[in-house]
Structure 1
Amino acid sequence: MAPEKYRFIVIEGAIGVGKTTLAKRFAAHLHSRLLLEDAAANPFLAKFYHDPERYALPTQLFFLFQRAEQMRELAQSDLFHHATVTDFLLDKDPLFARLNLSDDEFKLYREMYRHLQPQTPKPDLVIYLQASENALMERIVQRRIDYEQTITQSYLSRLTDSYSQYFHHYDASPLLIVNSENFNFTEQTKDFELLLEKIAGMRGGREFFNRAG
């Protein structure tokens, strides 16, 4: 994998799939800047998981403001000298909004998104991590974040379907779709090296990386 070829890498996927830990490993490997979504800073997130209908809009707007500001700073930076790895794709933000907001709330959100959306650099590579709902639920339980324990299988199902539909049509940047269930990129160096080899060998705009269980 040639670092000079990938100045802006995005790691994406549903909650619990491991995008943040993989983003951290990539940033360390490439000696690049790491830009992470700060979910803990959102004062509405825990309330959202307990009462989604009431708190979906403020939760979504907080994340929109946060991500837009981070992307604005990125757009003003010099990616040639400072490669960046992130664990979120701003263009995907409306996915959550459509999933959680009423029609009127979504209309308001779209207006704010249109006004706030900064001109951001196009990612050189997007890595979309996939995992089954059962695997995601198991990981959510294991990491023991209190407010996440109220997440239901039904919500995960709708979320993973939304991700699949979004990335089925995504063509803005080279895309690597990774089935992460049979890899451990954080603790297994060999798995991470295999991923780097796969990226180095990418030739098309969309490729898949899988390992049979």
Structure 2
Amino acid sequence: MTLDRYRYLVVEGPIGAGKTALARKLADHLNANAMLERPDDVPFLPKFYVDMPRYALATQLSFLFQRVHQISDLAQIDLFHGQTVADFLFDKDPLFAELTLSDDEFKLYSDIFHHLKLQTPKPDLVIYLQADVEILLQRIRARGHEYELKIPDGYLRKLVERYSRFFYDFNDAPLLIVNANNLDFVDESEDFAILLRRIEAMKSGREYFNKS
């Protein structure tokens, strides 16, 4: 099985959906460059989950600058001679800002975002992992990152709704929407193999995968 036609793949989804784990797995499988978010490099993130209004702007801008640097590096990679798998879609960045920032802060963020926004390569495929909020909460608790355990349930529900709205209107790249409630791509090799076959079989610009 070959996925050579996909030079730039993006895995997306809310916290706990498994996007980073799947992106790593795909990158290893394809011997591709892994372009991953680095939340541990954002010093404001643990404080954000404790006091969102106070630290939302600093956290948002830290992630934005991090992603800009990573996308700048991606622009230097010859995608015709290698593959890249990312666990974030740059154009989705405002989704979090709309949810957490005040009106004045969002205006400032938007000005910076549009000023910094680069001509980014268009993904050959975006894989959007959907999961119920209860499943996401179980996974967040299971992996035990201390600062994530402080995520309010209400915030996570709103975030899941924003993701659903964003990808409902998304048409900038081929999109595979995956129901990830009952999938474990890391520890269940068959789940990963099924997904690979599903990706390879894609024929239209928007398709769905629900493990039966």
Q: TM-score, normalised by structure 2?
A: 0.98
Matches within 5 A, 1:67-82: 67-82=67-82
Instruction: Give the fraction of aligned pairs with identical amino acids, expressed as a percent.
Output: 54
Displacement after TM superposition at 1:118 (Å): 1.3
Aligned length: 212
Mapped partners of 2:183, 2:148: distance in 1 = 23
Mapped partners of 1:16, 1:46: distance in 2 = 16
On the 8 A contact 2:64/2:93 being kept in 1, the answer is yes
Letter in structure 1 aligned against 2:118: P
In structure 2, the partner of 1:120 is 120
In structure 2, the partner of 1:29 is 29
1:81 alignment partner, SS class: coil
Displacement after TM superposition at 1:153 (Å): 1.3
In structure 1, the partner of 2:175 is 175
Mapped partners of 2:75, 2:46: distance in 1 = 30
In structure 2, the partner of 1:95 is 95
Letter in structure 1 aligned against 2:166: Y
> Deviations 1:70-118 (Å, cap 9, x if unpaired)?
0011012111112100000000000000000001000000000011111
Q: Which runs of 5+ in 2 are unaligned?
A: none
Letter in structure 2 aligned against 1:142: A
In structure 1, the partner of 2:161 is 161
Mapped partners of 2:43, 2:189: distance in 1 = 36
Mapped partners of 1:23, 1:203: distance in 2 = 22
Q: Which runs of 5+ in 1 are unaligned?
A: none
Displacement after TM superposition at 1:184 (Å): 1.1
Mapped partners of 1:76, 1:44: distance in 2 = 29
Displacement after TM superposition at 1:2 (Å): 3.0
Displacement after TM superposition at 1:182 (Å): 1.1
In structure 2, the partner of 1:184 is 184
Mapped partners of 1:84, 1:115: distance in 2 = 25
Letter in structure 2 aligned against 1:21: A
Mapped partners of 1:153, 1:122: distance in 2 = 33
On the 8 A contact 1:72/1:119 being kept in 2, the answer is no
Q: Which has the higher helix share?
A: 1
In structure 1, the partner of 2:9 is 9
In structure 2, the partner of 1:148 is 148
Q: Which stretch of the first structure deviates more once superposed, 72-81 or 5-14?
A: 72-81
Name the Cα RMSD after superposition. Answer: 0.8
Mapped partners of 1:43, 1:153: distance in 2 = 22
> Deviations 1:171-203 (Å, cap 9, x if unpaired)?
000000000111111111111111011111111
Letter in structure 2 aligned against 1:27: A
On the 8 A contact 2:3/2:200 being kept in 1, the answer is no
Letter in structure 2 aligned against 1:122: K
In structure 2, the partner of 1:19 is 19
1:181 alignment partner, SS class: coil
